[in-house]
Amino acid sequence: MRIISVAGARPNFMKIAPIVAALGKVPDVEHCLVHTGQHYDQRMSDVFFRDLSIPAPDVDLEVGSASHAVQTARIMVEFEKVCEAKRPDLIVVVGDVNSTMACTLVAAKLLIRVAHVEAGLRSFDRTMPEEINRLVTDSLADLLFTASRDADENLKREGVDPGKIHFVGNVMIDTLLKHHERAAVLDVAGDLGLAGKDYAVMTLHRPSNVDDPSVLKGILQVVHQISRSAPVVFPIHPRTSARINEFNLDSLVQDGVRVAEPMGYLEFLNLMSKAKLVMTDSGGLQEETTILGVPCLTIRKNTERPVTISEGTNKLVGTDPELLLESAVQILDGNWKESRIPEYWDGRAAERIVKVLTGGN
């Protein structure tokens, strides 16, 4: 059986790693790992392959950065060549980045079966590029692997054949549980001069938050205020850094706000696991904080991961400065909800996926 797995951007690497490892244990599977190069620099790509012990990709498309249309087109052109050369029986795509959708489109047109890992997530917000990628990918995929029961219901409501849907759990949690001990021995907070101190962590990268100067300014003003009570470590995304400079907001990321370069997986896991609070617009961090039991404030008006709210530590605060501040103060005062581990977030999702892929279920 010939299988191609696709990864393209930072959020994909944590999801593909356990699948690659599980496929490596199965005899009679010829596996090819394709890196599209959607995220391509050392900080956003190479360090994750090293930290997560992912073998070097068999093929690197090296598409680089561009507009959504140009990047998607480049991936499609180059991935079609790979499919024609390798003639796979199945393509495995993960997540919701442009690479996910582009490779699914190519496979569907070549009549190659597609398995989508992390299917069925819905924010119901079509202004998010990721939502479009999810909808297109799920409509074309032959096997849909879900991380939570609400994702199953989303797919069924859209008319997907229930026989295609497989509830397997969350592969990102496979990666977190596997590497948690390795991350725990690091002392990232100490390296930042925060040993023994309560601190918060923030990530911010979505266009809706960083491309509008008034929205970005409002968020940073509140974060600067929060930093007077607890230092805020801010590993900054290149896009966000550019916007802060462009909008002359540098004064709001000084003093108690500790700007840092993007971190490797193990470094960031260590930093996040010991934080008093995480503020983010990332989907994956909503899940990881749920497992770690770390309070999370999601700076978005919606989430495609509602299980992190109903069962986890997550709360949506939108871009309302007052709600963000009020919730952060509440957490720093030690008042927050208890969480529980969602069903099947147990470190064995990749095993379940590979069992289905190879006909073991």
What are the residue numbers of the active site?
205
| 351/168 Cα distance (integer angstroms) | 9
Backbone angles phi, psi at 57, to 5 degrees: -60, 145
| Rounded-to-integer distance, Cα 231 and Cα 254, Å | 10
Yes or no: say if 106 and 36 are a contact pair by the CB < 8 Å rule: no
204 contacts 240 by C-beta, under 8 angstroms: yes
Query: Which pair of structure tokens corresponds to residue 131?
Result: 């939502």
C-alpha–C-alpha distance, residues 361 and 353, integer Å: 9
Length of the chain: 361
Strand partners, 92: 5, 115
Query: What are the structure tokens assigned to 318, written together?
Result: 């939108």
Q: How far, in Å, CA of 35 to CA of 356, rounded?
A: 23
CA–CA distance, 357 with 238 (Å, rounded to integer): 37
* Nearest C-alpha neighbor of 241 from the set 188, 205, 287: 205
Q: Enumerate residues 6+ apart whose C-beta is below 8 A from 282.
A: 11, 203, 205
